[in-house]
Structure 1
Amino acid sequence: MVTVLSPAVEEPVAAPPARPRPRLYALDGLRFLAAAGVVLYHFTARWSQVWGDDPGHVFPGLGHVSMYFSLGPELFFVISGFVILMTAWGRDVPHVVASRVARLYPGYWIAVIATSVLLLWVWPGGKNITAGESLVNLTMLQSLVGVRHVDGVYWTLWVELRFYLLMIALVAWGITRRRLLWFCALWPLAAQVVFELNGPHLLATVLLDKYAPYFAGGMLLYLLHRDGHAKAPWLLLSLNVALALRNNVPWQMHALTANTVFAPNPWVLGLLTAGCFAAVGLVALTRVQHLRWAWLVPLGALTYPLYLIHEYWGWWAIAQLAPHANRWVVLAAAIALAVALAWGLHQVEKRVGPPMRRGIEAGLRRLRRPAPASRPRTALAAQGVRL
């Protein structure tokens, strides 16, 4: 049951559940576009040796545009804040934990194993990894223990996992509108202060350091989608956009200068950073939310597998084909391989995920269920039970 705080008291009081809202089909399309952008960035702009030359020299026109698609993860984070709050509101901890674990891990395990096989035996020149690193990566906690990512894209999963832990704590406390507004105001500010004063730090890590504004902004956009326009969520959304701009523009200027041959434009980076929030707002708060294009659903389903599997398998395909074929043919082949692998990964994922979710949720509910109280011996004896 959803609860809200009465203005006169501090205890949550019951409120009628919000009407279920129809699926936001355009959100599936937006997720896929973010993943497709990351794929293009990795194949045509980000530094690698697979083309025999820097990708920016191979694709000088496309690469100059695709380098900005490196902001795909930031868009993912805003979408995640929106979607995770939508699925967690009115739910309890066992449901949220089970749904997140079953969503995150099955596809990830397959991707880690597939990429490890590629890099350990098929294409050891792609990246020097060890079997031990692969095993640690299966936990998704490699950043916590100082072990390298088998695939660099896994860094975003560590961010997502920390956000899930914060959401589980919020669900355990009880999600209400008032609490959510305070959370989206104080959490990103606290993360910013800690990060500014101490840099990478345990508390900054817990608070998601410079990524908190994206998730908080996505949560506020869901609140606007759910309850309608109001001054407080709009003001807090503006605050989080400002914090995201403060963090992301200088960081992306540094990262893109180091990882590509291009000189990024800070104004474009600023517009695109704000655009991550605007894109989700367009989908959730305008007539776009009423689109009923069912063909976007399978694209959305491919997003996570494509993100997980594309980088090194795509680079491997490019390395094999680049010396022998036209660059556009090679690029198309690498993208086709990544999509095919993502489709295969999704087929396993959708079969393993639901029973895994049900099993985890049932197990957590059994753990929460209080043990039956033992009956007094005298009461049992009075009923003729032999002791």
Structure 2
Amino acid sequence: MEKASLKSERSVAIDCLRAVSIIWVLLYHFVPLQVFNRGTFGVLLFFIISGYCIAFSAESSQSAWHFYAKRLGRLLPALIVCGFLTTLFKRLAPDLVEPGRGLEWVHYAYTIVALPTLNVLQINYKLPDGAYWSLQVEFQFYVFCFLMIALGLKQRLLALLCAVTIFRTVTTSTDFYTSNDFFPFFIAGMSVAALVRGRTREAILGISVAFSVELYHLIFHVKQPSVPIEMYRSLLLWCGTAAAYLAARYDHLLPRAFHPLAFIGVISYPLYLIHQDVGTMILQRAHVGRESTADLLFRAFVLPAFLISIAWLVYALVERRTIKPLTALLANSRAWLCQWQPASAIRASHAAERPGDVARRDFPVG
């Protein structure tokens, strides 16, 4: 018997962890102080949280496509809007764009297709923002879960992820970096979910694999330019796993004073999408340096506050209004299309079906 039922989609404590992650990343990109020089570790904390949440999402999904429809419904609205805004700003003020960060509209448009499909067409393209690299890793994790669910292996998702990660780790050259280097963080998050649900043996296995693979990376000096592998990264994995467990287990004990921080977590996804290149352009336009106290205060407070306001607008006007309808639309795409077919076409289609096909007209609600 599981000790915990499925969690609701919103958890104040988990949202607080998301807030810590995004604030960490913002300070890394904008405040040139030594104390923030490992801000990309905030992305690794995001991966742990993602693993935790995806475990529940997979369990509640009625099918593989239902699972992926929920992922697309969650990620696409903010991605489309924030990618559009970033591209627009770059096209309007190319002189503020860092060298090599310029962008054509066609690259923005293809990003919307390439990320969910893992660039199946193998087209060379530029991401709208430098921070989008983590979405490429996230979608690889989602596609793996999609395939396992499609094969009827949903109940073995964590064990299979562990097995694939171990296999890819020991069969890949230490000089060849892949997204597999980040999978221990997803495994750790899924293990926390298993622990919360009372699957102790499964959780211990997953955590053991996550920590062991990361230790393998450390011992054999695996190359990873996005987030260099070092002892501090392993420490982040251990502390992040513990923090995710505490957030999941003791969410109900969190004082209301943490709710403002949790709000930053709620809008963390659009904030992450819009912050890096747009923030750098704002600093260029405002001629903000890196030395004076006034410059540091602008970078640490004024700029993040402005970016938070943009992210809040994206959340309030787009995300909150479109996530559920888009998810339902994608999960029930055939049923939705049938609503727009002429009645005669629907009758003809039904008449052409064999008797055994009739049962296949019904689709699960998203």
TM normalised by structure 2 equals: 0.78
Q: Displacement, 1:252?
A: 8.6
Q: Displacement, 1:268?
A: 3.3
Query: Which residue of the partner structure matches residue 182 of structure 1?
Result: 159
Answer with 1 or 2: which has the greater Rg.
1
Q: Displacement, 1:345?
A: 1.2
Q: Displacement, 1:148?
A: 2.0
In terms of mean alpha carbon deviation, does 298-307 or 242-251 score higher? 242-251
Q: Displacement, 1:357?
A: 1.2
Q: Secondary structure at the match of 1:196?
A: coil
Q: Secondary structure at the match of 2:330?
A: helix
Query: Which residue of the partner structure matches residue 24 of structure 2?
Result: 37
Contact 2:28 2:39 in 1 (8 A): yes
Among candidates 148, 153, 157, match of residue 135 of structure 2: 157
Once residues 195 and 364 of structure 1 are traced to their aligned partners in structure 2, the CA distance between those partners, rounded to angstroms, is 41
Q: How does 1:275-314 map to 2 (within 5 A)?
A: 275-285=239-249, 287-288=250-251, 290-291=253-254, 293=256, 294-295=259-260, 297-314=262-279
The 1:253/1:283 distance shift into structure 2, 3 A limit, reads: same
Contact 1:80 1:218 in 2 (8 A): yes
Once residues 40 and 345 of structure 1 are traced to their aligned partners in structure 2, the CA distance between those partners, rounded to angstroms, is 21
Contact 1:133 1:150 in 2 (8 A): yes
Query: Which residue of the partner structure matches residue 25 of structure 1?
Result: 12
Once residues 278 and 237 of structure 1 are traced to their aligned partners in structure 2, the CA distance between those partners, rounded to angstroms, is 11
Task: Give the unaligned 5+ runs of structure 1.
Answer: 1-14, 45-54, 56-62, 258-263, 377-387
Q: How does 1:198-209 map to 2 (within 5 A)?
A: 199=176, 208-209=179-180
Q: How does 1:97-176 map to 2 (within 5 A)?
A: 97-126=68-97, 127-141=101-115, 144-174=122-152
Q: Secondary structure at the match of 1:128?
A: coil
Do residues 270 (structure 1) and 234 (structure 2) align? yes
Once residues 219 and 245 of structure 1 are traced to their aligned partners in structure 2, the CA distance between those partners, rounded to angstroms, is 19
Q: How does 1:66-77 map to 2 (within 5 A)?
A: 66-77=36-47
Q: How much identity, in percent, do the aligned residues show?
A: 24
Query: Which residue of the partner structure matches residue 53 of structure 2?
Result: 83
Write the letter of the residue equivalent to 1:330: F
Q: Displacement, 1:346?
A: 0.9
Once residues 65 and 198 of structure 1 are traced to their aligned partners in structure 2, the CA distance between those partners, rounded to angstroms, is 29
Among candidates 312, 337, 342, match of residue 343 of structure 1: 312
Once residues 2 and 194 of structure 2 are traced to their aligned partners in structure 1, the CA distance between those partners, rounded to angstroms, is 16
Q: Secondary structure at the match of 2:39?
A: helix
Do residues 218 (structure 1) and 189 (structure 2) align? yes
Once residues 105 and 235 of structure 1 are traced to their aligned partners in structure 2, the CA distance between those partners, rounded to angstroms, is 33
Q: Secondary structure at the match of 2:125?
A: coil
Once residues 37 and 132 of structure 2 are traced to their aligned partners in structure 1, the CA distance between those partners, rounded to angstroms, is 19
Do residues 95 (structure 1) and 66 (structure 2) align? yes
Larger RCO: 1 or 2 (CA < 8 Å, sep 6+): 2
Once residues 248 and 308 of structure 1 are traced to their aligned partners in structure 2, the CA distance between those partners, rounded to angstroms, is 30
Q: Secondary structure at the match of 2:126?
A: coil
Query: Which residue of the partner structure matches residue 361 of structure 2?
Result: none
Write the letter of the residue equivalent to 1:236: G
Query: Which residue of the partner structure matches residue 353 of structure 1?
Result: 323
Q: Displacement, 1:323?
A: 4.9
The 1:169/1:234 distance shift into structure 2, 3 A limit, reads: same
Query: Which residue of the partner structure matches residue 236 of structure 1?
Result: 206
Q: Displacement, 1:302?
A: 0.6
Cα deviations across residues 63-86 of structure 1 (Å, max 9, x unaligned)?
211112211111111111110111
Contact 1:41 1:67 in 2 (8 A): yes
Cα deviations across residues 9-56 of structure 1 (Å, max 9, x unaligned)?
xxxxxx999634465321011011101111110112xxxxxxxxxx4x
Contact 1:185 1:236 in 2 (8 A): yes
Q: Displacement, 1:198?
A: 8.4
The 1:291/1:344 distance shift into structure 2, 3 A limit, reads: same
Write the letter of the residue equivalent to 1:270: S
Do residues 318 (structure 1) and 286 (structure 2) align? no
